[in-house]
């Protein structure tokens, strides 16, 4: 662990990395504060830029967007009662009443301070446990890697809040998209229809920009009210918010632990973590704290939990190549774009880069607190922007980013096509995140399955002969069977304790 940090210190001690982490954190706060965008959108918009940067600089910038965006949604939740991101949905329960009582500055300051502290806690757990997990997994062979990839595919689709069947269907769509192009093991062309533009497959940047950025722009346009100007109060935030936050140190520690735990569970998301932390904090609070009516502890609980989730989500993402959430899936895509393979091999062959990424994550949380406090007036003023200026800007940045990767007009067409696909899927309440997971993990699962069968002398029996792989696959099967059972059957198997 310490060797990783020492080797990474030389990479992060660069003006370029420090500036990009600061800019990424600022951009993350900005896209988080604007309703409808969020950290995932920020990562997608700047993913093409990371392609041209050194690995630590590029990943540091994207992770800083992830950190800043996870906190930025609290600003609009507190001021407008509109969560900038779903992560901030629980924050408005006490943040907005604080703002109505004339304490908007304190509410935003506490949200930023709690987010930074929670993020640091998650980062420490990331540094402690990710290398240990990777060390355990470094001796895995193709059967175990296949089982882990299946776990990633299943868990994201199954644990998603939307319909399980719909999640599995869109996950399969992602696997199908990943199959387009040249087969790396046989050099055969698959689903290319003799079009040379498809020989290299469909670029992940075009897919994610289309699915998320273009479909979101279409929804914003369809919603209308493009010229509406939000009524936002001007607020002042001071560094004394840190001391106000630290008064709730046990709440802070407990909520950060909850957030890290849920973050490390693929698919569990910061939304579950923040509401769980809030419920426990409210249950432990004294009646005079008035949770739900402007309690500082409520903001501390939700914001520390959802930002600690970031560090927790990066643990399986980096160590096992199992993304903790949709944003981590795109971060895995960024690693692949930079020529790095997420998983145990990343720690074995690129330990200095891993150490640099760890330190960049911690630095991002420092910038989150400092820049969040100093630049809050700027973020508040940005909330007054009309959609008629914001939506075209997002579309322009998206198209420039897609074209810049390969200077390919076909990538623009693919982005447009997947924009339509994303719009239609969202109309029918199909989740989009499993598509990205399928694109990332599909080739990993396929490649390791085929390698396992080549190693085997008796077909699929190799999975029965490898206890770890067999155990993981058995758990995957049980989880899928359980979630597909009708509710009445579950009720019989797990009788209610009521009465």
Q: The tokens 């982005």 sit on which residue? A: 415
Residue 420 confidence (pLDDT)? 92
- Say if residue 242's pLDDT is above 90: no
End-to-end Cα distance, the chain: 51
Helix ranges (DSSP H) in 265-325: 269-284, 296-320
pLDDT in tens, 307-321: 888 888 888 888 877
pLDDT in tens, 28-72: 888 888 766 778 888 888 888 888 888 899 999 999 999 998 888
Better-scored residue on pLDDT, 378 or 137? 378
- Say if residue 93's pLDDT is above 50: yes
Q: Are 226 and 391 in contact (CB under 8 A)?
A: yes
H or E segment and range at residue 189: strand 189-190
- Residue 247: partners with Cβ closer than 8 Å, 6 or more residues away: 296
Rg (CA), the chain: 22
Q: What average pLDDT does this structure show over 141-169?
A: 73
Better-scored residue on pLDDT, 308 or 197? 308
What pTM does this model have? Answer: 0.77
Average pLDDT in the chain: 81
Residue 318 confidence (pLDDT)? 85
pLDDT in tens, 464-485: 888 888 888 888 788 777 766 7
- Say if residue 128's pLDDT is above 60: yes
Residue 493 confidence (pLDDT)? 61
Q: Beta partners for 348?
A: none
Q: Taking each helix axis as running N to C, give the angle between helix 269-284 and helix 249-264, from 0 to 180 degrees, rounded to the nearest 10.
A: 150
Residue 498 confidence (pLDDT)? 41
Characterize 195-233 residue by residue with b for buried, 16 or more Cβ atoms within 10 angstroms of its Cβ, and e for exposed. eeebeebbbbbbbbbbbbbbbbbbebeeeeeeeeeeebe
- Say if residue 496's pLDDT is above 50: no
- What is the phi/psi pair of residue 399, to 5°? -65, -40
Domain ranges of the chain: 2-493
CA atoms within 13 A on the CB side of 192: 15
Q: Are 242 and 453 in contact (CB under 8 A)?
A: no
Residue 491 confidence (pLDDT)? 65
Report the distance separating Cα 103 and Cα 114, nearest Å: 16
Residue 499 confidence (pLDDT)? 38
Residue 497 confidence (pLDDT)? 42
pLDDT band at 183 (very low <50, low <70, confident <90, very high): confident
Residue 157 confidence (pLDDT)? 60
Work out the number of other CB atoms within 10 angstroms of the CB of residue 62: 31
Better-scored residue on pLDDT, 151 or 306? 306
Tokens matching residue 350 = 């690129």
- Residue 370: partners with Cβ closer than 8 Å, 6 or more residues away: none
Q: How far is CA 441 from CA 155, 172, 178, 330, 345, in A?
A: 12, 11, 9, 11, 15
Residue 62 confidence (pLDDT)? 93
Q: What average pLDDT does this structure show over 358-380?
A: 88
- What is the phi/psi pair of residue 189, to 5°? -90, 130
Q: The tokens 């290319």 sit on which residue? A: 192
- Say if residue 456's pLDDT is above 90: no
- Say if residue 494's pLDDT is above 70: no
Q: What is the DSSP letter of 289?
A: G
Residue 367 confidence (pLDDT)? 93
pLDDT in tens, 205-238: 788 778 877 887 888 788 777 676 665 666 777 7
* % of residues, the chain, pLDDT over 90: 8
Q: What average pLDDT does this structure show over 380-403?
A: 75
- What is the phi/psi pair of residue 464, to 5°? -75, -25
CA proximity to 152, closest of 374, 320, 288: 320
């Amino acid at each position: 662990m310490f060797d990783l940090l020492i080797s990474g210190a030389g990479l992060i001690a660069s003006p370029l990395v420090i500036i990009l982490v600061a800019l990424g954190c600022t951009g993350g706060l900005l896209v988080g504060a604007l309703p409808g965008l969020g950290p995932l959108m920020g990562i997608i918009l700047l993913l093409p830029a990371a392609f041209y940067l050194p690995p630590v600089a590029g990943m540091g910038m994207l992770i800083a967007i992830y950190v800043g965006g996870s906190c930025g949604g609290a600003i609009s939740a507190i001021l407008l009662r509109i969560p900038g991101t779903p992560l901030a949905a629980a924050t408005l329960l006490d943040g907005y009443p604080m703002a109505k009582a004339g304490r908007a500055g304190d509410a935003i300051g506490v949200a930023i301070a709690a987010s930074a502290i929670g993020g640091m806690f998650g980062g420490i757990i990331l540094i402690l446990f990710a290398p240990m997990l990777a060390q355990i997994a470094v001796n895995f062979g193709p059967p175990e890697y296949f089982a882990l990839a299946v776990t990633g595919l299943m868990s994201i689709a199954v644990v998603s809040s939307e319909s399980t069947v719909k999640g599995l269907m869109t996950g399969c769509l992602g696997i199908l998209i990943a199959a387009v192009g040249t087969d790396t093991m046989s050099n055969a062309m698959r689903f290319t229809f003799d079009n040379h533009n498809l020989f290299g497959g469909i670029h992940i940047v075009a897919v994610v920009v289309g699915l998320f950025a273009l479909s979101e722009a279409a929804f914003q346009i369809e919603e209308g009210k493009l010229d509406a100007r939000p009524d936002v109060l001007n607020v002042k935030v001071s560094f004394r918010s840190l001391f106000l936050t630290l008064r709730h140190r046990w709440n802070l520690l407990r909520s950060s632990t909850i957030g890290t735990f849920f973050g490390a569970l693929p698919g569990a998301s910061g939304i579950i973590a923040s509401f769980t932390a809030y419920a426990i904090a409210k249950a432990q609070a004294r009646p005079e704290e008035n949770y739900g009516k402007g309690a500082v502890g409520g903001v501390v609980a939700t914001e520390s939990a959802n930002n600690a989730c970031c560090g927790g989500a990066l643990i399986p993402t980096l160590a096992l190549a199992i993304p903790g959430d949709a944003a981590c899936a795109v971060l895995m895509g960024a690693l692949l774009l930079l020529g790095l393979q997420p998983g145990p091999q990343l720690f074995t062959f690129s330990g200095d880069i891993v150490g640099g990424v760890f330190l960049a994550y911690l630095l991002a949380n420092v910038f989150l607190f400092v820049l969040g406090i100093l630049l809050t007036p700027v973020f508040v003023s940005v909330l007054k922007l009309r959609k008629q200026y914001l939506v075209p800007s997002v579309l322009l940045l998206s198209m420039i980013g897609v074209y810049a990767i390969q200077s390919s007009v076909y990538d623009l067409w693919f982005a447009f096509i997947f924009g339509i696909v994303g719009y239609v899927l969202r109309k029918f309440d199909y989740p989009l995140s499993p598509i990205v997971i399928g694109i990332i993990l599909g080739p990993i699962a396929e490649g390791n399955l085929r390698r396992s069968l080549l190693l085997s002398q008796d077909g699929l029996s190799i999975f029965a002969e490898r206890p770890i792989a067999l155990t993981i696959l058995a758990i995957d099967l049980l989880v899928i069977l359980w979630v597909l059972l009708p509710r009445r059957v579950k009720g019989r198997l797990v009788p209610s304790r009521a009465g």
